[in-house]
Structure 1
Amino acid sequence: MKRAAVFSGIVAFLVIFLSGCMGNRPVKRPALEDEARTYARRYDEDFYLGRYHQAIRDAVRSLAVYRALDLDRQTAISLNNLGAVQDRLGKVDKAIGSYREAIALSRDLNDVSTLTAALNNLAGTIAATNPVQAAALANEARDIASDRGQTIVEARALSVLASIAFASDDLGGAATLCRQALELSAGAGGEGVRAACLTRLGRLLARTGNPEAGLESVKSGLAIDRKRGDPFSIARDYQAMAEVLDALHDLEGAEKSLEKAEDILRFLGIDQVK
């Protein structure tokens, strides 16, 4: 049996099993809710620390319980979480499906927070393969966030739009979007967006003839990610640094940066950073 079939079967079994428990012993509902919250908290920690194979189990378990309890808002959040870790592990088609489910459910619930997060995540996932649709999704997230004063979410949308422009070789547009995102993400909670934008801006500067400034920008992004302790983002920073060092004709430094990125990715059990 293929791993995907086994994975789907586990989810189905958990939903049926937990639904049965609820039907026979409704007194257990508070305990099941606590269990789901525990899995959700574990997911946050495991995902952040790069323990992606454990995080995917956490997300599946929380999703199964929330579905069994008909807690739709928490189900949408769990679907978005599941998509994020599937994406990190290279299960792109599954991630897209999870994000689409999260978007549809959060729309029905008018859960703006989960909706904008899932829109941004899906946009980032399909940016390289379907830039037109990705831009539409990111712009929707940006508009919603702007209307509601969600500056960090808006900054994240701008960062995704910058990545789309960058992939399309619209370097001027990408630089403008990066700087807008940096301005919006200056407050608390925007560190991840800032680091991503600084790293991308460094690559932009290197490609437009200013690799010295590009290197400083990438170093700033790396410093933020080191402080955050996000290994996936650190690997992305080292890949960007290798590109900038190559533009500076520091081939030895570029090779060492790539080796550091590869070591981190190997430790995380993934092949590459998007």
Structure 2
Amino acid sequence: MDVIDKNNKTLDYTPLWRLSLNRFRRNKLAVLGTIVLIILIITAIFAPLIVQYDRDEQNLLKIYQKPSKAHILGTDELGRDVFTRLLYGGRVSLSVGLISTTISVVIGVVLGIIAGYYGKKADIIIMRIVDIFMCFPFFVIAITMAAILGPSIWNVMIITGVLGWTSICRMVRAEVMSIKEREFVEAAKALGLTNREIMFKHILPNTFAVIIVYATLGIANGILSEAGLSFLGLGVKQPQPSWGNMLAAAQNLQSLQHRWWLWIPSGLLVFITILSINFVGDGLRDALDPKLKQ
């Protein structure tokens, strides 16, 4: 909405959300990534309506069949339809990315706000815990925890979520340390609001841009973590398919050389999904950046 001031100058009072949406729309890669993700999500949700075979339907007379009209992406070592299992595997991989990221965001945001707002001892303790977590390679700890807890989709979600909160914690802490010095926070204190009300009702909404961008990119990390753990046999257990445990077919040299349909489609879907999420994350980061005027 345009408003004319007393000097006859036109002032733009377009709402911030609309400006951000317009910026996002102008980012062609971000829009493309969004479309691809929507298609992947829809096909995963409505997989039973799209495919003609059951997820675990076996036919030992049709093992290792090449792609054909009956099986557009061939069959696996048990005669199961690869295309069917790819769509069902998308449910698992996307769910792991979403839920593990939710766990990371909840832990990281809460600890980041506490560290940034209170400072002093709380900040020192939380940041030292962050340093300890970041000292160890992710996959080394993830493999150890998966070996102890056992292979399971829920264990993969928990492991990835618990180990992935450190980055968002540091980002939220930095934002909170900057925001808490602003006038509206001082006014809230003067009005007698409690620390909890100030942190979660006034400071937290001003960190949403950082949280949204991190959450978008965190989903990609969750999918990659699931794929890596399942590839090593420590993730989602068969017969439940995921893109990661379908990639495990590449461990077999015979399949790697002569049965491309067992592992290339799942690897390609992981690649396309991660790339699309990164495009969307970059687009959101640019769209939510308050410093951008154009």
Please say whether Structure 1 and Structure 2 have the same fold, judged by a TM-score greater than 0.5.
no
Greater relative contact order, per chain length (Cα 8 Å cut-off, separation 6+): 2
Q: Max radius of gyration: which structure?
A: 2
Bigger fraction of residues in helix: 1
TM-score by length of 1: 0.27
